[in-house]
Amino acid sequence: MKMDRRTAMIGAAALGAGFMPRLAFAADMPGVSASEIKIGGTMPYSGPASAYGADGRAEVAYFKMVNDQGGINGRKVNLMSVDDGYSPPKTVEQTRMLVEQEGVAFMFNGLGTPTQTAVQKYLNMKKVPQLFVATGADKWGDYKHFPWTIGYQPSYRVEAQIYAKYVLRTKPDAKVAIIYQNDDFGKDYLNGVKDIFGDKYAKMVAKDISYEVTDPTTDQQIVILQASGADTLMIFATPKFAAQIVRKVYDINWHPTQFLTNVSIAVGAVIKPAGVEKAVGIITGGYLKDSTDPAWDNDQGMKDWHAFMDKYMPGADQTDGDYIYGYAVAMTLAHVLKQCGNDLSRENIMRQATNIHDLEIPMLLPGIKVNTSPTNYHPLRQLQLARWNGKTWERFGEIIEGAGA
């Protein structure tokens, strides 16, 4: 008697935890019904990277607005955005839940390089589109090996290409020094510079030097770089180190033209700790409009965004760039779905996602356009440079594009 009850309880616990309703859908268009298309996404709503969860919340809110306005081609967009805590095993579990249990049409804007790497092989084997992943690594454009995976934002490598192009154009005889973080993040940048300088790399670059994430300080590297006689410094460092570097360069009275990765341009986390006046003149690149930049006060795109935020995300911090990013990428997806028409098969979704021509998104800087093709899986490859003037990042010059597609 006792045994039976226990067994039953254990069985019931296992079953109860496991079973969820399963839905039927057309075999050739998974996740699509006459009135709805179901989409999946994983986001770090909890855990160490939970600040990025704003991105996912903006996307869900955006499609709520789209649905309130009648949906896309008569279908509501149901974005199921779930938490993976920035933990790759959890991403695998959640992605399988969305693909196998919920039967989503595709995965959209999953966030994080390690997390998305964990499911890339799985999604490509299942031929489920992995659209517009939210990571800056360059490897998401590998259409030959992973034809079902496409990136979104300008990769670190593209960003470095743009700085190198600018140097070549404005100061062809520059002597460049580079400091980079010794991991895939830093090496993407180094590769970008190499792409542009090519044979001239040895001549242009006086010294490149790396640091480890575990290093307590980068002071020594900066002194070595100064001794190389360089007049231009490229800083490919994460925020903590970027702040150290900017300050050290100023303190040893070295005044090169400085380029700083846009990963590390946050005023609170980098510029203030380094010293607001010590950072004056530093150049970086961006592609999104900044809601704190007064230049956009009368911009229709920005006004629409504020209206959207007020209505669909009341109380959210409108200076947080992640909401702008989420809105822009959701808008790009909406364009793809419109372009799909009534054929929402996974093949056609992938075909349309890799067939975007000069798409303008109101929250991208004017002139920056989304472009993809079957051999270009990097939708955004342009930046506009900006310079720190002691108060804000002031944009200047024209839009610069990375190396050929």
Q: Does 87 bind another protein (CB under 8 A)?
A: yes
Q: Does 38 bind another protein (CB under 8 A)?
A: no
- The whole-angstrom separation of Cα 159 and Cα 162 is 5
CB atoms within 10 A of CB 268: 8
Q: Which two tokens stand for residue 56?
A: 């996912």
Among the listed residues 31, 37, 62, 83, the single contact to another protein using CB under 8 A: 83
CB of 142 to another protein, least distance (A): 13
Question: Could you give the angle at the alpha carbon of 210 between the alpha carbons of 219 and 278, nearest 5°?
Answer: 40
**Site size for another protein, by CB under 8 A?**
57
Q: Which is nearer to another protein, 226 or 261 (CB)?
A: 261
Name residue, tokens 């933990």.
87
Q: Does 321 bind another protein (CB under 8 A)?
A: no
Q: Which is nearer to another protein, 129 or 186 (CB)?
A: 186
Q: Which two tokens stand for residue 30?
A: 């998974």
Q: Does 207 bind another protein (CB under 8 A)?
A: no
Q: Does 88 bind another protein (CB under 8 A)?
A: yes
CB of 213 to another protein, least distance (A): 7
Nearest to 114 by CA among 144, 139, 131: 139
177 near 228, Cβ under 8 Å?
Answer: yes
Nearest to 403 by CA among 146, 164, 136: 164
- Beta-bridged to residue 75, according to DSSP, are 72
CB of 122 to another protein, least distance (A): 7
Q: Which is nearer to another protein, 15 or 202 (CB)?
A: 15
Among the listed residues 35, 68, 203, 212, the single contact to another protein using CB under 8 A: 212
Tell how strand 382-388 and strand 283-286 pair up: antiparallel
Q: Does 238 bind another protein (CB under 8 A)?
A: no
Q: Does 10 bind another protein (CB under 8 A)?
A: yes
DSSP 37-96: EEEEEEE-SSSTTGGGHHHHHHHHHHHHHHHHTT-BTTBEEEEEEEE-TT-HHHHHHHHH
Q: Which is nearer to another protein, 45 or 312 (CB)?
A: 45
Q: Does 157 bind another protein (CB under 8 A)?
A: no
Q: Does 147 bind another protein (CB under 8 A)?
A: no
CB of 119 to another protein, least distance (A): 8
Residue 42: φ, ψ to 5°: -115, 140
Q: Count Cβ neighbours within 10 Å for each residue of 145-163 and write b for 16 or more, e otherwise.
A: ebebbbbbbbbbbbbbbbb
- The whole-angstrom separation of Cα 363 and Cα 334 is 14
Q: Does 117 bind another protein (CB under 8 A)?
A: yes
Nearest to 37 by CA among 104, 127, 98: 104
Q: Does 55 bind another protein (CB under 8 A)?
A: no
Among the listed residues 30, 31, 41, 53, the single contact to another protein using CB under 8 A: 53
CA-based R_g, the chain, Å: 23
Q: Does 240 bind another protein (CB under 8 A)?
A: no
CB of 83 to another protein, least distance (A): 4
Among the listed residues 3, 24, 34, 202, the single contact to another protein using CB under 8 A: 3
Among the listed residues 86, 132, 180, 323, the single contact to another protein using CB under 8 A: 86
236 near 179, Cβ under 8 Å?
Answer: yes
Q: Does 60 bind another protein (CB under 8 A)?
A: yes
| Region of 54-62, 147-155, 159-167, 195-203 interacting with another protein (CB under 8 A) | 54-62
Q: Count Cβ neighbours within 10 Å for each residue of 292-306 and write b for 16 or more, e otherwise.
A: ebeebeeeebbeebe
Here's the x/- map for another protein, 63-82, by CB under 8 A: it reads as ------------------xx
User: In sequence order, which ranges of 234-384 are alpha helices (DSSP H)?
Assistant: 239-251, 272-274, 300-312, 321-340, 346-353
| Region of 15-23, 253-261, 284-292, 343-351 interacting with another protein (CB under 8 A) | 15-23
Among the listed residues 14, 51, 307, 405, the single contact to another protein using CB under 8 A: 14
**Interface residue list for another protein (CB under 8 A):** 1-3, 5-7, 9-11, 13-15, 17-19, 22, 45-48, 50, 53, 56-57, 60, 81-83, 85-90, 92-94, 96-97, 100-101, 112-115, 117-118, 120-122, 182-185, 212-214
